[in-house]
């Protein structure tokens, strides 16, 4: 969710994994490729508020397809662990639960974009949407309005629907998800993920 501490957690996890000798690639969506960074600009630009829901869905799908081909598949082929900031669930939560596009359509589009790639573990950083938006606003004030995005502009009701979407998605695939309380301290969150990884993938450590 917005302001849940995704980047901080990913950067801590990457350090912890690397300190254990695990080669780790860090990437994000939208973005992660030269195409993706162009699309990220279009997708998150507050001036692009006239972008229609289906256009938005297809831009995220294009970003994902290219990201998988250019970044994720090559990293996995080199036996690296990939930490990705947002993935398919974000599309289902924002464009499906948030914007109201049918989950069946999203699933078909996403399956073609993913081309067989599924995360081994998805970490859901859950927190009250108001708290997340408060954090985003405070970060925006600190760094200037440039970090404000089309998603931050949405009304709280939209972010509540997104949160409910994430919770529904994780309830539907409990084995793939680890739900954490994003109000916990960053170092505690990182430790909780590490414990889960050691439990699930002992052969890696």
The site for a second copy (CB under 8 A) is made up of 35, 38, 42, 48, 50-52, 54-59, 61-63, 65-66, 69-70, 105, 108-109, 112-113, 115
Kindly tell me which of 55 and 156 has the beta carbon lying closer to a second copy: 55
Q: How far is the CB of 108 from a second copy (least distance, A)?
A: 6
Task: Tell me the CA distances in angstroms from 60 to 1, 77, 114, 129, 196, one per residue in order.
Answer: 16, 24, 11, 22, 29
To 5 degrees, how large is the angle CA 152–CA 154–CA 158? 115
3 preceded by a cis bond (ω within 30 of 0): no
Distances (CA, A) of 180 to 8, 73, 119, 136, 170: 14, 27, 17, 19, 11
Q: Rounded distance, CA 76 to CA 96, Å?
A: 28
User: Which of 190, 192, 194 lies closest to 9 in space, CA to CA?
Assistant: 190
Q: Which is nearer to a second copy, 99 or 160 (CB)?
A: 99
The distance of closest approach from Cβ of residue 121 to a second copy in the complex, given in angstroms and rounded to an integer, is: 25
Beta bridge partners of 84: 27
Q: Work out how close the CB of 29 gets to a second copy at its nearest, in angstroms, rounded to a whole number.
A: 13
- Of the pair 30, 165, the CB lying nearest a second copy is at 30
Q: Which is nearer to a second copy, 4 or 88 (CB)?
A: 88
- Kindly list the distances between the CA atom of residue 111 and the CA atoms of 27, 36, 107, in Å, as whole numbers in the listed order: 20, 18, 6
In the complex, minimum distance from the CB of residue 131 to a second copy, in angstroms, rounded to a whole number = 32
- Minimum distance between the CB of residue 128 and a second copy, rounded to whole angstroms? 32
Task: Select 64 or 163, whichever has its Cβ closest to a second copy.
Answer: 64
Q: Which is nearer to a second copy, 50 or 155 (CB)?
A: 50
Beta bridge partners, 24, equal 81
Q: How far is the CB of 67 from a second copy (least distance, A)?
A: 9
């Amino acid at each position: 969710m917005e302001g849940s501490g995704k980047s901080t957690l990913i950067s801590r996890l990457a350090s912890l994994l690397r300190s254990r000798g695990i080669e780790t690639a860090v990437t994000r969506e939208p973005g992660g490729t030269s195409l993706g960074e162009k699309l990220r600009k279009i997708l998150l630009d507050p001036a692009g508020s006239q972008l229609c829901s289906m256009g938005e869905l297809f831009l995220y799908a294009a970003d994902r397809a290219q990201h998988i081909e250019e970044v994720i598949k090559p990293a996995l082929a080199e036996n690296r662990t990939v930490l990705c900031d947002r993935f398919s669930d974000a599309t289902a939560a924002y464009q499906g639960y948030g914007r109201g596009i049918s989950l069946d359509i999203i699933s078909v589009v996403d399956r073609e974009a993913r081309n067989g790639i599924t995360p081994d573990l998805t970490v859901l950083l859950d927190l009250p949407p108001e708290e997340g938006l408060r954090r985003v606003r405070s970060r925006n004030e600190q760094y200037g309005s440039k970090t404000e995005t089309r998603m931050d502009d949405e009304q709280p009701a939209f972010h509540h629907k997104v949160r409910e979407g994430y919770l529904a998605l994780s309830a539907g695939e409990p084995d793939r998800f680890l739900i954490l309380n994003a109000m916990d301290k960053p170092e505690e969150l990182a430790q909780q993920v590490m414990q889960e990884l050691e439990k699930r993938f002992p052969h890696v450590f």
